Amino acid sequence: MPKEQHETNVPLHGKIHRSVSVSEKKDKLEERLRKQLRENPDAFFKAVYPVLKLKAAENLLNEVQNVKLNEKNGDEDIREKRFQILRAVLNDPNFCSLLVRESTKKINEPTSNWMEHPPLDIYLDRMKEEKPKDFKGYDGTSLMQLLRFLRNHHQHALQADDQFREEILKTKRISDAHYCEFFDRKFPELMAFLTWMYVGACDKDDEFTKMLGQNGEDNLDFLDEEEFYDFILALMDFFFENSTIDKEDLKAIIGEIVIFDDIGNFEYVRMEDPRNKKSKK
């Protein structure tokens, strides 16, 4: 008995016939995913989380690279002001050193420069030798540069041969999970910190907010001085459990580059837009 056929209109192609079995397979796949999520949410989350972290790192880099840095806040929308703050913070060497040190303390190998920490130092030296013309230098005192590294070398790992992946990532397979583990072994929770820092700057229309759900009244306001510092401290306390950093320590660092007025409202970031520097040359 022939399978029932459905007609579907496709632009420029008229009508095509599609078997019911295609819809049945799609339904079965959806049910399989829902069952996995329902019956084993921890395993499902563990499988998806590395992908989310890498995507968040890439999104964050693109957002802060493209945001306009105005000396005064002018007419920018709230979302753009949040990413102005993040760009200034992620470029600050003191904040970078603080986070990298808090992360590496978890494995008793504290360091302040992420490029000088094994195995990244060995890996980067190898990349210089193998592809000196293509190799782009990184600044180990910048979290923006760290985001560049994560993006660029994630792609390199995906395109590399089996021997490279087995040596560096401990697998021959293309695996986001192994790439994250390679990084997380030496920088515990640092990528997760950056992920949730990005999520905190997103609004209700961003894809990550839609995936993870809105916090509603629990959202902390980046543009309020006390709430911004409370947000950063909450992330540090969660991801770096034994952190001794307090609000005054953060203000001593971030207060030099993110400027709030006398009543705690965000005014501007003290950082020149690199695009303006280029135009002056």
Cβ neighbours for 142, distance < 8 A, ≥ 6 positions apart: 90, 91, 93, 96
pLDDT value at residue 143: 95
Using CA atoms, how far apart are residues 114 and 240, in angstroms rounded to an integer? 17
CATH: 3.40.50.2300, 3.40.50.720, 1.10.760.10, 1.20.1440.180. Which one for 49-280?
1.20.1440.180
Residue with tokens 């499902």: 44
Whether residue 196 contacts residue 183, with contact meaning beta carbons closer than 8 Å, is answered with no
Secondary structure of residue 185 in the 3-state scheme: coil
Cis preceding-peptide flag for 11 (omega within 30 of 0):
no
Q: What is the pTM of this model?
A: 0.76
C-alpha gyration radius of the chain: 23
Using CA atoms, how far apart are residues 184 and 151, in angstroms rounded to an integer? 15
Using CA atoms, how far apart are residues 68 and 275, in angstroms rounded to an integer? 9
pLDDT value at residue 54: 87
pLDDT value at residue 281: 42
* DSSP-assigned beta bridge partners for residue 7: 17
Secondary structure of residue 219 in the 3-state scheme: coil
pLDDT value at residue 261: 92
Using CA atoms, how far apart are residues 178 and 154, in angstroms rounded to an integer? 10
Nearest to 63 by CA among 223, 203, 180: 203
Residue with tokens 């339904």: 27
Nearest to 150 by CA among 112, 123, 132: 123
Using CA atoms, how far apart are residues 281 and 277, in angstroms rounded to an integer? 7
pLDDT value at residue 241: 79
Nearest to 149 by CA among 179, 178, 177: 179
Q: Which residues in the chain show pLDDT less than 70?
A: 1-30, 32-47, 70-76, 118-124, 127-128, 130-136, 157-162, 164-169, 171-174, 212-220, 272-281
Residue with tokens 């632009």: 11
pLDDT value at residue 26: 57
Per-residue pLDDT tens digits for 68-113: 776 454 556 888 899 999 999 999 999 999 999 999 988 888 888 9
Whether residue 50 contacts residue 44, with contact meaning beta carbons closer than 8 Å, is answered with no
Secondary structure of residue 227 in the 3-state scheme: helix
Using CA atoms, how far apart are residues 208 and 52, in angstroms rounded to an integer? 9
pLDDT value at residue 73: 47
The conformational region for residue 277 under phi > 0 = left, psi -120 to 50 = alpha, else beta, is alpha
pLDDT value at residue 174: 64
Using CA atoms, how far apart are residues 34 and 55, in angstroms rounded to an integer? 22
